[in-house]
């Protein structure tokens, strides 16, 4: 029964979707290999996918999915406002736009209603214009191997943007191995807004981005520090504005970075930074036919950057370092923790820069509806199974009792019949015999023989002559 419920209690979607999905996550949700194209509009409230409610006992996964030319007030691609575990991987948001409010951006709005730690990995967010916070992240998040290319954070009616990637009143968000390439913002390519715990950005590239007003990386009103660690800043366009800035709140920490500017605002703690034209950090992405990235997908042996592969036979890469990449079947791969090499799984050993294609423009040709099992139906099935089990158990017990009674009855009848057929033969009178007088000496033990027998035995063993008895007889 429990296995039946576990298998049935899931909701799955695949293929081309012709309308937006408004999902209440009261069971496991899987959105896999879906294509959302041209959904929504300027005044439309719902994003292409909106996920609500649920509990941490369930999980929600979006994988190998594309959002193209979608637009909504709440977020162009997807929004998550639920309590389930949440993962987005190997997914592309391409040319999506924000709606009339400019509040929640053009890529996604992620605001969990519980303290779950969500994961975004191996995703590309490209060519998405508009909205004050294109990727708006709250709560606890683990972000890695993300590709932001040509995304715009513009103020609109809000007055100022808050980052292409926004840590929005976040508790703790950590981002690593991520590219920001040719993005534009009026305030912050990365912006930490009223964070309550230390958040980080590490081992990431900021290449050829444009700052129209305030900071490239900034914080505002935060109670804890934003830490920028081991990042590359190269060929960014500042227009006289700052690379780092603290508008209000605690200091920012910048360590071990390669910088292309020294103009900063507010309290910045620095250690181990250098101003130099550095080589970009090679980063692994999940490539599709529509994704172009400035930074290579793997570092070739000659150390030179190369363009990403987009061939349909290319393999799925793995995350560098010690961060595992889980495929939908549950398998995981790990990087070289000792050397720090960035491994890339390929079907051809010579093709080290290829990546898997996300089926961005091929589609599945019609498999558009999701498979869902309502919870009330599961309850009815479970109740029916329980009732059937009780009925079967009751009938079996009655049958067993009946067989037991029949067995006892047969045993009693058989015992009675056996008793009736037992014949006791009559006792015969004992024959009378004349008693003969008994010699008293016959009942006495033969002491002579009892004494002689062991003596003879011992003498025979000692080799005594056989005529000793004759001599005794003569005496």
Q: Which residue has the higher pLDDT, 4 or 236?
A: 236
Return d(Cα 28, Cα 84) in angstroms, integer. 8
Q: What are phi and psi of 162, to 5 degrees?
A: -130, 40
Residue 397 is predicted with a pLDDT of 72
Contacts 24+ apart (CB under 8 A), 338-347: 342/282, 342/283, 342/284, 342/298, 342/299, 343/298, 343/317, 343/318, 344/284, 344/297, 344/298, 344/315, 344/317, 344/318, 345/315, 345/316, 345/317, 345/318, 346/314, 346/315, 347/313, 347/314, 347/315
pLDDT tens readout for residues 193-232: 899 999 999 999 999 999 988 899 999 988 899 999 999 9
User: 92: closest CA among 36, 136, 20, 150?
Assistant: 36
Kindly report the backbone phi and psi dihedral angles of residue 387, in degrees, each rounded to the nearest multiple of 5, phi listed first: -60, -45
Residue range 5-34: mean pLDDT, rounded: 86
Q: What is the pLDDT of residues 391-436, one digit of tens each?
A: 877 777 776 666 666 665 655 555 555 544 445 455 554 554 444 5
> What does the DSSP assignment read for 168-203?
ES-SEEEEES-EEES-EESS-SEEEES-SS-EEEES
Q: How high is the pLDDT of residue 275?
A: 93
Distance CA 165, CA 158 (A): 16
* Phi-psi map region of 350: left, alpha, beta (phi>0 left; psi -120 to 50 alpha): alpha
Which pLDDT score is estimated for 150? 93
Q: Report yes or no: 303 and 341 within 8 Å, Cβ to Cβ.
A: no
Beta-carbon neighbour count of residue 258 at 10 Å? Answer: 19
Report the chain's mean pLDDT, rounded to a whole number. 71
Q: Total structural domains in the chain?
A: 1
Coil vs helix vs strand at 446: coil
- The pLDDT of residue 214 is 86
Kindly state the tokens that stand for 335: 């990087």
Query: Which segments of 314-446 does DSSP mark as H helices, in order?
Result: 375-420
Q: Is the pLDDT of residue 257 over 70?
A: yes
446 falls within a domain: no
Q: Pick from 238-252, 399-413, 441-455 the range whose average pLDDT is largest.
A: 238-252
Which DSSP letter does residue 438 get? P
Full domain range(s) for residue 32: 14-363
Give the confidence band of 325 by pLDDT, cuts at 50, 70, 90. very low
Between 80 and 357, the more confident residue is 80
> What tokens appear for 126 in the block?
């490209």
The yes-or-no verdict on residue 300 having pLDDT over 50 is: no
- 241: pLDDT strictly greater than 60: yes
Distance CA 173, CA 137 (A): 8
The answer to whether 123 and 284 have CB atoms below 8 angstroms apart is no
In a domain, 408, yes or no: no
Q: Is residue 193 part of a domain?
A: yes
The model's pLDDT over 451-464, given as tens digits with 9 standing for 90+, comes to: 433 343 333 434 44
- Higher per-residue pLDDT: 316 or 399: 399
Residue 390 included in any domain: no
Asked if residue 224 lies in contact with residue 242, where contact means CB atoms within 8 angstroms, the answer is no
Q: Which one is predicted more confidently, 14 or 4?
A: 14
d(CA 42, CA 72): 6
Q: Please indicate whether residue 308 or residue 70 has the higher confidence score (pLDDT).
A: 70
The most confident of 99-103, 170-174, 383-387, 441-445, by mean pLDDT? 170-174
- Rounded to whole angstroms, the Cα distance separating 454 from 230 reads 110
Cβ-contact 102, 72 below 8 angstroms: no
Position 404 scores a pLDDT of 62
Q: Tell me if 302 sits within 8 A of 188, measured CB to CB.
A: no
pLDDT score at 99: 73
Task: Tell me the two tokens of residue 11.
Answer: 């909701």
* Residue range 185-189: mean pLDDT, rounded: 88
| Whole-number pLDDT of residue 144 | 95
Q: Is residue 123 part of a domain?
A: yes
In the predicted structure, residue 469 carries a pLDDT above the cut 90: no
- How sure is the predictor about 291, in pLDDT bands with cuts at 50, 70 and 90? low
**pLDDT, tens digit, for every residue of 114-127?**
999 999 999 999 99
Q: Are 243 and 236 in contact (CB under 8 A)?
A: yes
Q: Return the bridge partners of 12, or none.
A: 30, 371
pLDDT at 182 over 70: yes
Q: What's residue 246's pLDDT? A: 92
Q: What is the pLDDT of residue 239?
A: 86
**Per-residue pLDDT at 31:** 96
Alpha carbons 418 and 277: distance in angstroms, whole number: 111
Q: Hey, what are 311's tokens?
A: 């061939």
């Amino acid at each position: 029964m429990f296995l039946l419920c576990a298998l049935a209690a899931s909701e799955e979607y695949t293929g081309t979707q012709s309308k937006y999905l408004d999902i209440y996550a009261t069971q496991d949700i899987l959105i896999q290999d879906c294509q959302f194209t041209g959904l929504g509009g300027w005044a439309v409230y719902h994003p292409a996918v909106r996920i609500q409610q649920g509990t941490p006992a369930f999980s929600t996964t979006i994988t190998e999915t594309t959002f193209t030319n979608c637009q909504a007030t709440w977020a162009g691609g997807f929004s998550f406002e639920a309590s389930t575990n949440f993962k987005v991987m190997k997914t592309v948001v391409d040319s999506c736009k924000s709606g009339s409010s400019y509040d929640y951006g053009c890529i996604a709005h992620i605001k969990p209603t519980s303290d779950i730690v969500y994961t975004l990995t191996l995703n590309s967010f490209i060519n998405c214009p508009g909205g004050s916070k294109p990727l708006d992240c709250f709560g606890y998040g683990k972000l890695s191997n993300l590709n932001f290319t040509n995304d715009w954070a513009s103020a609109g009616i809000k007055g100022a943007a808050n980052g292409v990637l926004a840590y929005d009143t976040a508790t703790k968000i950590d981002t690593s191995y991520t590219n920001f390439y040719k993005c534009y913002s009026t305030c912050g390519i990365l912006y930490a807004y009223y964070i309550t715990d230390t958040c980080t950005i590490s081992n990431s590239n900021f290449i050829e981005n444009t700052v129209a007003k305030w900071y490239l990386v900034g914080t505002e009103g935060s109670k804890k520090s934003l830490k920028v660690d081991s990042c590359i800043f190269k060929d960014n366009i500042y227009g006289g504005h700052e690379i780092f800035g603290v508008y209000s709140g605690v200091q920012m920490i910048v360590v071990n970075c390669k910088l292309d500017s020294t103009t900063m605002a507010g309290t910045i703690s620095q250690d181990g930074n250098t101003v130099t034209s550095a080589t970009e950090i090679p980063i692994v992405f999940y490539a599709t036919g529509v994704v172009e990235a400035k930074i290579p997908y793997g570092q070739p042996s000659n150390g030179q950057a190369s363009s990403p592969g987009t061939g349909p036979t290319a393999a799925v890469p793995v995350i560098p370092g010690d961060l595992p990449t889980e495929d939908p079947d549950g398998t995981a791969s790990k990087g070289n923790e000792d050397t720090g090499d960035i491994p890339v799984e390929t079907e051809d050993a010579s093709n080290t820069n290829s990546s898997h294609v996300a089926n961005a423009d091929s589609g599945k040709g019609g498999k558009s509806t999701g498979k869902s099992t309502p919870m009330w139906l599961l309850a009815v099935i479970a109740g029916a199974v329980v009732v059937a089990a009780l009925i079967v158990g009751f009938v079996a017990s009655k049958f067993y009792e009946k067989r037991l009674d029949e067995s006892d009855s047969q045993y009693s009848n058989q015992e009675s019949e056996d008793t009736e057929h037992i014949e006791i033969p009559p006792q015969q009178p004992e024959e009378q015999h004349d008693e003969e007088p008994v010699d008293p000496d016959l009942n006495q033990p033969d002491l002579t023989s009892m004494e002689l027998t062991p003596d003879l035995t011992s003498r025979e063993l000692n080799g005594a002559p056989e005529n000793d008895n004759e001599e005794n007889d003569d005496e």
